[in-house]
Structure 1
Amino acid sequence: MARLTEPQLVGNRPSGALQRPVVFEHTVEGLFHIALKDRLSRMAVASLKREGLDLSQKLLPAYPVEIWRRCLAIAVADLYPVVSRAEGYRRLGHDVVEGMVRTVLGRAVVGVARLLGPLRALRRLDHNLHSADNYVRAKLVELTPTWCEVSINEVLEQPTYYQGILEACLKIAGAQEIRVELISREGSGATYRVQWAE
């Protein structure tokens, strides 16, 4: 399967100018202010501040992906020290979705996903992921009404993080017996087999 490109043109910049990859404020809010509120140790909160995410201050409109990647690593090490790193990232994928759905923007997405059901919700995955940041793109290949392949162009070197995100998104959309399996890595991206029962 061809690797997805990363279209990152800025509308008001000269043609061909690339945006700096960033994660938007509501994504950071959903994970760190909502899902992980009161769950992180003081040491982890101090480490996040040193990396550029000060949870005691108003959040910035966006954070560079390098800061986001390091902050995710801090959260996984702090919250999930007794499981494998891969499993910790999968659980953090669930956490970020659970936090996002409690933001203003996320509540609207949840309502739509529940109405659409799993397959039609997956058809909106690219849009929904791209609303969290400006660099992640997803491509869906429908194999049956309950079986798809999903390719994500950038998984931050942690494919199980997006495995957890996919599992949590399908659950919100009403899927049962969810199975998300990593089937290949392509450059910085990954492809997953996604199956469920309705």
Structure 2
Amino acid sequence: MRDERVIFSSSVDSLYRKVLAPSLTPELVDRLRARGMNLHAPLLAAYPLAVWVDCLADTARTLHPDQPVEQGRRRMGRRMVEGYAQTLVGGAVLTLARVVGPMRSLERMQHNFRSGNNYTETRLTVLGPTQADLWFNEPEALEGFVDGVLEEGMLRVGVQGFTLHRTRHSPDSATYHLEWADRSS
């Protein structure tokens, strides 16, 4: 069980309780509970990755029925950063990120993600002052979510003209090519 990939309660709290709560229908909350995420009870310390994946997909389909699930997860990734910013740790991390700039923030990405789960690994390859490749051991089942987290995170760091392109290498890894216009790296 030690090697099980889990999502910490801080992630559930940031996304589901801090920002999505007003949008969650009683039916969706019931389905989330049936999947293993009871939002009416004290949060568990951690949730299996499979529970997180299932809950994100159900939430994406419910809140964004007119979009592909990947796009719904992308929007929820952005909302996750919004909720994370409302926490003591998240507020501090985002404030530090604005001070140190986008490139140094990207160098710390594994540490930042590890505050919300026990499995994320990243590798940064700097290609220029405003360009980098960021490899993630991101499960394909979360496709779109990290895109949204990166987009919103870089926006909150203060970069201009941010773009990303994801290349999937396997069901368990992807590289994000990141570029931005300003030179405050």
TM-score of the aligned structures, taking structure 1 as reference length: 0.87
Matched, 1:37 2:9: no
Percent identity between the two aligned chains:
33
Distance 1:83 1:109 in 2: 31
Question: Which residue matches 2:107?
Answer: 123
- Compared CA separation, residues 170 and 160, structure 1 to 2 (3 A): same
Question: Which residue matches 1:184?
Answer: 168
Unmatched segments (≥5 aa) in structure 2: none
Matched, 1:85 2:35: no
1:135·1:154 contact (CA, 8 Å) conserved in 2?
no
Question: Which residue matches 2:119?
Answer: 135
1:90·1:160 contact (CA, 8 Å) conserved in 2?
yes
The amino acid of 1:51's aligned partner reads R
**C-alpha distance after superposition, 1:127-185 (max 9, x if no partner):** 10111100111111000111100110023423321111111111111111110111232
**C-alpha distance after superposition, 1:48-92 (max 9, x if no partner):** 011111111111111111111111111101111111222112111
Alignment of 1:1-198 (within 5 A): 18-198=2-182
Distance 1:23 1:159 in 2: 16
Superposed displacement of residue 18, structure 1: 4.1
1:149·1:192 contact (CA, 8 Å) conserved in 2?
yes
Question: Which residue matches 1:14?
Answer: none
| Divergent runs of 4+, >6 A | none
Distance 1:59 1:185 in 2: 34
The amino acid of 2:44's aligned partner reads L
Superposed displacement of residue 123, structure 1: 1.0
Distance 1:106 1:166 in 2: 14
2:53·2:142 contact (CA, 8 Å) conserved in 1?
no
**Range with bigger deviation, 99-108 or 133-142:** 99-108
